[in-house]
Structure 1
């Protein structure tokens, strides 16, 4: 067993830490520039260039202060509260929507506080000044954060601006976590080493080649050797609680971090709540619900949005229908029976993109599919049954627009799992049937994560993740990502 490293050695090992502080300072500078530009810009736009003599008045000793001072107070307060609520913390930046939610929540609190103070002290602030500065400031702040995130994603793809992670656990769990974390570098966890039971040396993860720098007996020394700043415990089967506690004590406060991964996968953050009880960090996982106000809101949203889209896109739909009719013989629309909510069937409508006898040719092509698609879904690049117009329609997913009719009718939703064929359902394992707890969607996580390039296992995992964790906010994010995926034309064939 290696000697326990000294505090100095541990601090030397964590000398690379500081990316989060540097990035936070850049965000602070950008936030300040944005708020100065927005707040003073609104002041000038509302009152004119000469604002030195413009004042607000109240009955607190008849005070009169010019709006330049008010703008400075708003900027300083806004910046301070953004930092106080952790909108620039390394745990929220780079991935997910938490950063953007914090920016909005903080901004709402700041202007709510200003409104309350103005009411209590009878201060006559110009309403237009407030009503314009708030939404414009939020939009520009979110946009600037989005631009920084794009830069950060590029940096993290090269291993920079990320936590340097040492994985601790069994070989199986270490390899699983290494694959998942390396597949999503934007999350900010760069795997540099591993500790597994047995002997040190060699690598784990196959092609990932994660070096094994130690065993459970010399975790502290391995941490120094790997120069990692974050320890992720992937499994604790051979790691007693006392050993985990000793490891946490050896970490540099504020500089090195301990992460314990529970045996939970594909569970959305809002469903997880941690509650300390009798010294144990108990994790409460809420069960998903498929009824009530959330479901009603989703249905209203689907009806309104799909109805408006049908009205707005009606000229395009008419032109596409004419192109399909002129391109090849057969009906304009293709009706196909699909399986929907609770296993019920419905007829899904699409623009026809294949020849009329496409189904008859399916058996002849099925043998070739095994090498081009996955084990359940039939997907083939350069499918000879697709018409000339059909290739263009599929490339931009225009053939799926008539499914808006299915949404209005109630058979489908705008966002949901992929609507399967009955012959595909016959191959489902029991757990896959959970996808029928919600309505199928025109788009979903499968549409924004690779489309036809996905394996069957990945398709199932994404659909089940949506079923277990769906929310209106998540639906809006998926709709936004769908537009990007369609324009990128990845996996469309």
Structure 2
């Protein structure tokens, strides 16, 4: 049962809460406003360069040449269109249009400035290779400045409007705090004392309600910890802040799992600094540190770009990989006969099972003999590895050292079960032995190559491998994929950690 306290007044759910469809249209609106500002910024640069003639020519001859070389604005329209497309795609990839309190004005200013300068520089190279003496170089410098100024001014205005609404109780996120000790009360005091932060405190959950005594402020006790789901549904909660004391941290994984199951955002106020800070973003609420898990970057347009690259890379390398695979298959057949391909059930994205293909590197009855060798396992965690596994064939040992046994997994990439870069696919029995935090590595597609493979393969502990996989999922960029590919090649050639 959910407990109710009659004393405090509960914040009522706002009638103006945006639906997911309204939020999508709002993001589309912001996107088109940015497009208009990019076009306007380029038009202002044109006015400065060709109509105002700023900076003014230092003599009459230069002025006459500038007038003779006047270019109509319509000549720049294709360039402006390309710039709008490039910057629009870049902003989408950077998550500018996803509602988030994590991105500060400083973050946006840095991202906008870097994106605009990069795309302008790219346009300069392309334009002057095509028409080297047709356009003024100075207009591109003006465009970079005017576009950055307009985009940043728009975002400063947005932030001001947002805080104005928040300070008047409009558009805030409805928050419940889990915990009633000194830390929980500190968080609740900070929430109520900071209306401009955009949160409305609905109440708190705790197995031990606060005894108010003579204190002026009384927070509403909504129920015990096991009432979390009912409270979220009953009070339309949008954000959960977990502020448990350190002696209740054994309940933290369950609370996090329940929030994730309901699709509710959550943050953690640490009572002790023993958490892994490489997997969280740190926010501050009136001096109180809040930890929020980083988002998985591989979704939406990012996932589309990654999938496109995977397919293009596999198809373009077929003239090399197909003959190589044929040679390896022949060598395996001559060395130890059939089967040549080893099929095995593996765990993919979000726990989905799929058939993984590899060149066979062990004797045919290797799986049946595995139980006999469990006592000789040299890997930690749920993995099973042996440096001198007696089941490995002569050719198989060489294939494992060079990772060529994984060449058939290019077929898994074509099927969409795997990616070129991603955490290595796990066996179902390994996943069964995972600790709760290990499962986050399953939030992205498995891959042929991964960050742990580039940094040492079997020489790295299992927990460290998982941490690296989670880091990859939460910090993915296309350049990170390229760096991993370049790191994996020397790691494979050296054979470091391959056993």
TM-score band w.r.t. shorter chain:
0.3 to 0.5
TM-score (normalised: structure 1): 0.46
TM-score (normalised: structure 2): 0.45
